[in-house]
Every structure is written in C-alpha cells, then in structure tokens.
Amino acid sequence: MTTAPDRYAVLGHPVAHSRSPAIHARFAAQTGQPITYGRELCPLDGFEPHVRAFAASGARGCNVTVPFKFEALALAGRASARARLAGAANVLGFDGADPAHWWADNSDGIGLVRDIERHAGVALAGTRVLLVGAGGAAAGVLGPLIEAGAAAVVVANRSAGKAEALVQSHADLAQRRRCTLAATPLAAPGEAFDVVLNASSSSLAGAEVPVPAAVLRPGTLAVDLMYGPAAAPFLAWARAHGATARDGLGMLVEQAAEAFRLWRGVLPDTVPVLATLRAEVDAGAGAA
Ligand code: NDP
C-alpha cells in the first residue's frame, strides 16, 4: 500500500506568478521527500477560512505571501522568535484544522542572509547596511541582518513612522548585538554603504530607485528583493554607479529551502535549484 504524499502550497493574492511550486518540486525530487506543493488564491478578505479549509483537508503546511503574512502570524497558536520579532510569518505548519495547533515562522530574513553570504560571497559581519523599505519584507530581514553581525543598519522608508517603528521593535536586539540602528528619510539616508537592500516595492511598482546614488560606492553589494524584468532598472542603476548588483532570486530559493527544512527536517542543496531558476528567468520562461 502506498501512502499519499504530504500536501503543501503557497497562499496569497495574487499567487499565479509564484515560482514556489517549481522550487519545492525540485527540492522534493532532490531529497526524495514525498510531498506535493501547489498554489492557492485566497480572497483578499478571506485568508482565514481559506487556510482553515486547506488545513482541514489534511494539508501539512503552507507558505504565505502578500498580503497575508501579518494575518498568518496572528492565527497560529505558536510562533518562532524570529517571526514574532518580524511581526509576520511566511511559513505555517499544521497539526490538524485547529489554528491553536499550528506553528508560524519567518524564513525571509535567513533566506536573504544566506543568499548574500553563500551565493554572493559577502560576509555581513561588520558591514554598514542600508535597508530601503519598512513593509513585510523589511520587517522579516532586519532581525537576521542584525543577528548576522551588521555593524550598522539604516532603515529608510517613504512613510517615516513605519521605519521608526521597525527600529523601535528591534532596538533591544540591536543593543545586544552592538549594532547601530537608525531610521532616516529616503532622500538623505547617508553615503557609501557596504550593502544596499531595496526591500521596498518600488521596482514592483515600476517607480524610480527611491534613494540617491550617493548610497553606493564602488564594490557596494546592491540587492533588489524583486527579480525578473521589474528588477532590471534597479540593477542597471547599481551597476552604473560601480556597485555589484543582485536580484531577489537567491533569497527566494533560500527562504523556500528554510521552509522545506522546517517542514521536512532536511535542508535541500540550493545551488543547482538556483542555477536552473536563474537560467529560466534569464530566458524569460514563464512569469517573473
Ligand atoms: P509591502 O507592501 O509590505 O511593503 C512595501 C514597502 O515598499 C513599503 O515600505 C512602502 O513604503 C514601500 N514602497 C512602495 N512603493 C514605493 C515607492 N514607489 N518608492 C519607495 N517606497 C515604496 O511589500 P513587501 O515588503 O512584502 O515586499 C517588498 C518587495 O520585496 C516586493 O518587491 C516583493 O516582491 C519583494 N519580496 C521578495 C522576496 C524574495 O524572496 N525575493 C520575499 C518577500 C518580498 P510605505 O511604507 O511608505 O508604503
């Protein structure tokens, strides 16, 4: 008798563009883990009933994407320290239909840190980092950047209050890790950072790069969390000013690998999966 594979999915709105099903299918093939992974479009006002029904159908967990990461954290009975610090969750694990028995985690930050350190080959310890944006993605990455040993992180956001709130919620961690943390306006965030992270949705919106070029110096690592054609203007801007440009594809694969590890207890090898995905995106195959 064969056992049915465990079921997972990414839940969001929109979700049709998501590359997570393809990534997890490759992880499953590589590790021999018996899982299936789909995508579920949730109504904007109906995340909770949708995720409850998905769990009640016997599914074992899900990834959560825009705009439900905050709701996902609030629903689950328990949450990891990094998800609580971020105030948002992109991974849920189910033990039945009752959310009291679900767990929540956030793999976005560790995904970005692993991409920068393993794939881009830049050690974050001792660096000055500019974090542009203060939405769900920025909230997920700030704690792991501090944990990785950044000497200073400046958070610059269009709505100043959101950057200040993020700095406040991470002040204790920053103090413990001797990281200087500050919120600044987008127009004057400082100059010549070691690492510049665009965690705003400016590229997604087709808007101009929201910070002055003085934030870069030759050799700065400039990462847009976006990937595909929408990231191209930011990457071109970074290269034109001597920076090393990188998109968010590596983070996408690494956050997925961490979710897979949380569910299955096995950390997949991300190198071949990222190489395949990179080739597909560069060839313009499928949606970005
Ligand atoms: P949110 O909607 O939660 O936050 C959006 C942020 O972008 C806010 O800080 C907002 O500022 C800012 N913003 C929006 N438009 C502009 C603009 N034109 N100029 C300057 N700032 C702007 O989105 P997320 O944080 O979830 O996502 C942000 C980006 O990160 C997206 O591009 C997303 O695709 C990417 N991402 C990539 C991942 C990956 O694995 N590669 C994972 C998660 C996200 P304000 O507060 O003023 O509204």
Cα(67) to ligand 1 centroid in Å equals: 11
**pLDDT tens digits, the chain, 288 residues: what are they?**
578 999 999 999 999 989 999 999 999 999 999 999 999 999 999 999 999 999 999 999 999 999 999 999 999 999 999 999 999 999 999 999 999 999 999 999 999 999 999 999 999 999 999 999 999 999 999 999 999 999 999 999 999 999 999 999 999 999 999 999 999 999 999 999 999 999 999 998 999 999 999 999 999 999 999 999 999 999 999 999 999 999 999 999 999 999 999 999 999 999 999 999 999 988 875 443
Question: Could you tell me if the CB of 205 is within 6 A of ligand 1?
Answer: yes
Atom of ligand 1 nearest to the CA of 137: 25
Cα(58) to ligand 1 centroid in Å equals: 33
**Active-site residues: which are they?**
69
Instruction: Write down the pLDDT at residue 287.
Output: 42
Residue of the nearest CA to atom 40 in ligand 1?
A: 252
Question: Could you tell me if the CB of 66 is within 6 A of ligand 1?
Answer: yes
Question: Could you tell me if the CB of 199 is within 6 A of ligand 1?
Answer: yes
Decide if 146 contacts 153 (C-beta within 8 A): yes
Cα(107) to ligand 1 centroid in Å equals: 17
HSE value, Cβ hemisphere, 13 Å, CA-based, for 218: 0
Cα(33) to ligand 1 centroid in Å equals: 33
Question: Could you tell me if the CB of 210 is within 6 A of ligand 1?
Answer: yes
